Amino acid sequence: MFRKYKFAFVVMIVVLLLSACGGGGGAEEAAEAESCAPNCEFTDMTFCYPQLGAESDWRTANTASFKEVAGELGVRLIFSDAQQKQENQISAMRACIQQGVDVIGLPPVVEDGWEAVLQEAKDAGIPVIIVDRSVTADPSLYASHIGSDMYLEGQRAADEMNKLLPDGGKIVELSGTPGSGAAVGRADGFRANLNDNIEIIDSQTGNFTTAEGKPVMEAFLAKYEGEIDGAFIHNDNMAIGAVEAMKAAGVEPGDIKIVSVDGTRGGFQLMIDGWVQADVECNPLLGPQVYDMALALMNGETIDAEVLTDETVYYPDEAADLLPSRKY
Ligand code: GYE
């Protein structure tokens, strides 16, 4: 009787030991599968892109770049649209951290307030690449920032305004989303280079959209009737809205000198039609470079802490020739 129980007990222990060993082996295999470094390929990558919104043609082109290139490379893309709300971007990032994505690309709607969620990503071992606009958070909280030099764009815009108004004048500014790296950088760079004889008589935000740009220009035209010599407009979509307002108010192309930013097809068309005198380029096609950086991070390579896009200024005389080849 006792021997029978002893045998059953030994069998039970052996079964338990075997199952424990089997479980351990499975976990090890899973961990190995996760860590492909240093030979990770794009097909190993799950990349999270909590896009800030769909406010402009620039943004649409930026989204398309990330989606199309992910498809070409075989990257698994987790995409969301935050409708220009920081809280939506933060929740989308938290969902990606929960899922254990490999890398997060963050195009921040505003500069401030990212510390907590960046720290959460860091604690989870998920590197973050800040894409497009900048953040004020400490650089130790993210792997890199890639995007345009918004300050330089503002300086370039001022150089153009200085040329357009050599005898000085009064101008208005239609600025981008308040607190965004793009709006802050462009406004500061513009003021740094603007000639003393040019006065910014008013500055209001149009939130980077055509819909909000139009009423802002309507209000400017009503308030400063006949006084406005020029307008610095932070993106082409707001310029499209502003021009609609000007047309409705009987303003002729060239009456108010416009310097815009982005270099989208819409901006090129405004140059061809005589409304915009200079368009400062801002390149949204960042997908290929960002995926390369993300792969380098997965493979444990070091990447540059700051990557600035190479850009130029476009003028009306070349707009018609270049428009057909514009990608956005
Ligand atoms: O200029 C504007 C968009 O952050 C550079 O955002 C980007 C800006 C771009 O809405 O059109």
State which fold the 42-148+284-311 domain adopts. Rossmann fold (3.40.50)
What count of other Cβ atoms lies within 10 Å of the Cβ of residue 177? Answer: 24
pLDDT at 182 over 50: yes
Question: Between vectors from CA 57 to CA 230 and to CA 304, what angle results, nearest 5°?
Answer: 95
pLDDT at 26 over 60: no
Q: Tell me: the pLDDT tens digits for 121-173? A: 999 999 999 999 999 999 999 999 999 999 999 999 999 999 999 999 999 99
Domains 42-148+284-311 and 150-282 share a fold: yes
Q: How confident is the model at residue 35 (pLDDT cuts 50, 70, 90)?
A: confident
Q: Which one, of 93, 132, 134, lies nearest residue 112 by Cα? A: 134
The reply to whether ligand 1 has any atom less than 6 angstroms from the CB of 270 is no
Cα distance between residue 157 and residue 281, in whole Å: 10
For residue 177, report the distance from its CA to the centre of ligand 1, in Å.
9
| Of 15 and 309, more confident | 309
Question: What does the block give as tokens for 169?
Answer: 């004048």
For residue 58, report the distance from its CA to the centre of ligand 1, in Å.
6
Instruction: State residue 318's pLDDT score.
Output: 98
Contact between 189 and 159 (Cβ < 8 Å): no
Report domain extents, the chain.
Answer: 42-148+284-311, 150-282
**CATH superfamily entry for domain 150-282:** Response regulator (3.40.50.2300)
Average pLDDT over the chain reads 92
First to last CA, the chain: 85
When mean pLDDT is compared across 26-30, 55-59, 63-67, 158-162, the lowest value belongs to 26-30
Q: How confident is the model at residue 5 (pLDDT cuts 50, 70, 90)?
A: low
Q: Which atom of ligand 1 is nearest to the CA of 58?
A: 11
pLDDT at 75 over 60: yes
